[in-house]
Amino acid sequence: KAGVTQTPRYLIKTRGQQVTLSCSPISGHRSVSWYQQTPGQGLQFLFEYFSETQRNKGNFPGRFSGRQFSNSRSEMNVSTLELGDSALYLCASSLSGYRTDTQYFGPGTRLTVL
């Protein structure tokens, strides 16, 4: 089975722009979670989707949003980019998102905001 894929892998944007990142889960996985990783804050949970519904959300401003499609692919969007949004954005998929499911991580999208 192919692993979790994320596109694009690298992205450079300027302040005020918006960005959309994509995540394709492992075939058969219905849960997708998104995380932000920065040198200062480490890994932080953004949100979790299951069957096209946001099931869980971390403590991020409303500029961060996401969605999941019927084929379980997910996108996250960040509007009005700020310098502090520069980070590695990781998505992870699991079969059902059940509390004890193993998560499989994608390679990440490295976003740089200038």
In 3D, which of 64, 84, 85 has the Cα closest to residue 75? 64
| Site size for other proteins (CB under 8 A) | 24
Among 55, 63, 69, 77, binds other proteins (CB under 8 A): 55
Among 56, 77, 80, 112, binds other proteins (CB under 8 A): 56
Contact between 110 and other proteins by CB under 8 A: the answer reads yes
Window 60-89: residues binding other proteins (CB under 8 A)? 88
Q: Are strands 42-50 and 19-24 parallel, antiparallel or unpaired?
A: unpaired
| Closer residue to other proteins, CB minimum distance, 66 or 108 | 108
Minimum CB distance to other proteins, residue 94 (Å): 9
Among 90, 93, 111, 113, binds other proteins (CB under 8 A): 90
Alpha-carbon gap, residue 61 to 70, rounded angstroms = 26
Distances (CA, A) of 71 to 24, 65, 79, 86: 9, 19, 24, 29
Q: Is the dihedral of CA 46, 52, 54, 60 positive or negative?
A: positive
84 in helix, strand or coil? helix
- The residues binding other proteins (CB under 8 A) are 33, 35, 37, 42-45, 48, 55-56, 58, 88, 90, 92, 99-105, 107-108, 110
